[in-house]
Structure 1
Amino acid sequence: MTKEQTQEWFDARYSNEKNEKEINIVGKENLLDFSKPDLEGPLKIKGFTNLESINLKYLKLTSLEISDCSQLRKITDLSKLPKLKCLSVRNCPSLIELDCSNSNLTSLDCPEYITVKSPPNLVTTEEKEKFILIVGRTGSGKSALCNVLTDTNKFMEGGYAVSETLNVQKEYFDWKGTKYCVVDTVGIENTRLNMKELLHIMADGINLIPEGINQVLFVTDGSFSESEIRTYNLSRDSIFESGILDYVTIVRTKFTNFKNKSECDKDKRAMLERSVTIAEMINSCNDVIHVDNLPTNIIDDDSDYEERVNINRNARRRSRNILLNHLEKVCKDKYNKIKIDDLRDKLLAYIG
């Protein structure tokens, strides 16, 4: 079987639409065993959301890439893959241990939170992603901010009072050689969800980042509603231990003069003067960043349609540079003091 046929064979037999819980492939133990697959070369296993274990034996694989398997807990003994030299594991938050001790691996790329038993010649490349958690009110421009950061259109933007984001979404992107991961949570004041449902989904978003959070972007259009203030206090008091505010940046969206520093400073002073509570929020955080992520998904027949879209794209590019330059400065360490174990109990207690 050729290297190209190996991936084709796998894709034909295993589909992430089949909700596979186990991938079990046993190859030829001897040359006369014609009933077993003879896989060789590289193999990718990606996007199996219900997959719990991977068992590969007697195959001629040279590299193995496993990614986006949220329930994966076990990869069996790699010693039965004698030609395997390179292994990459990405975005598999349930996998906390990996035994490579009897393998022939020379290169391993995996997150810091996985405990690895290594062979003597292994070179480990720990992923150094920066994890960004997005929190904000419905209609504040939260999903638009995610699209601007990732330079994609993968997050559903909406110009309505009803939130377009009903579940947690996670996307990766690279900037200046650094890999970032943006986790978007459901919007505060989502009219389709009650408070309990909303906070449960927010908890799920936090659970997607076992590696730790580098920065929380608290998105607001400057209105600072009662619900926004309540959720901010929830994040500070009930979800995280002390010290989280050092990792929070307030992102002020829909600010036309975001490119003018004096206007940004003036707006910040105005927010500080609105109330003692808002002033306390702003002063306790890392910083306030002003952006204006104008829409590019405009549906219009006007003659100046293309011109307006290009202007908005340029504004989004400027906003992106401002945000990423800020993240480059502040994302030095991960915040690992998330109370995952009792998070749901605390959320329920908070909302009564």
Structure 2
Amino acid sequence: MTSTASPVVLGVESSCDETGFGIVSDGVLLGQGLASSAAQHADFGGVVPEIAARAHLEAVVPTLRIALDDAGVELSDISHVAVTSGPGLATAVHVGLAAAKSIAWSLGAPLYGVHHLAGHAAADTLEHGPLPERSIVLIVSGGHTSILAIGDLVRDPIEHLGDTLDDAAGEAFDKVARLLGLGYPGGPAISRAAVDGDPTAYSFPRAMLRPKDAPYTFSFSGLKTAVARTVETLERAGEPVPVADIAASFEQAVVDVLVTKSLRAVRERALDTLVIVGGVAANARLRAVAQEKCEAAGITLRIPPPRLCTDNGAMIAAVGDLLVRSGAEPSGLRIAADPSAVLHGAQLPLPR
């Protein structure tokens, strides 16, 4: 049992197809529960919002119980509640927000509405401790690919250095996996196929790396199109599609762009730490190449373990824990869902 002098923060996450609850106290993850509806979306090749929302409704209570049991605490031990209030699928976000409000109201506990992407950044603190005074954070997931300059995660404004112009990296993985008949979700499927492939077999484009291009901006739609044309050309010629080689070459192209731009940001800001978070941060090739390049450049690389890369309640609890310890004012029950929230700070503002 955690001392009553320390806040015990429950985090609630439901922005997409994972229902997550996490419990954090003084920067330490006590326990978590996670349920995924990914299998229900596989036939559609992507997340169906209505199916995700229904799955969240069904998973909320049992997943909360799993988190409490994992942490060895009772619901009455929870002192504060944090919840993803945006961005995400509107119907999905509303379910988690309603659950968090109900829990907070029943306990008389302060409620914090937090930004989903800040949660990804905070996830690393559960593994490696507080972030440095200044760092570059690459968030790379199914819906987001961004390079951020971050100071104190909950006190300082978050600076967007660059985002994707079109597909996020994870979205590109999903679409290419579908082209190759590998199923959904695409990230793990591509990684498995790429193990037996040659990453140099196909020279797919590395977009936005020319000197005249925006230094921290991403674009993956052209890469996806190049893969589609390659597959189409092979099929028209009646030739077999070398799935492993195409998967490995595509994966390498994505990784090259992500790592090159992230390291550029670290160097140009005269910093020494790169943090990579989000679902795609679980990719083994990305982790290996980033580690190799960072070591060569004398840059400290921080990546949370794969279990903390995908959407989860622990990362939201981590933000809540930081907010509580910083003395931030709670959002209260008036906090509203903001499915298209832009990341300016860890805590989302109240509706006007």
* Alignment TM class, shorter chain as reference: under 0.3
Identify, as 1 or 2, the structure richer in strand.
1
Larger radius of gyration: 1
Q: What TM-score comes out, normalization by structure 1 length?
A: 0.28
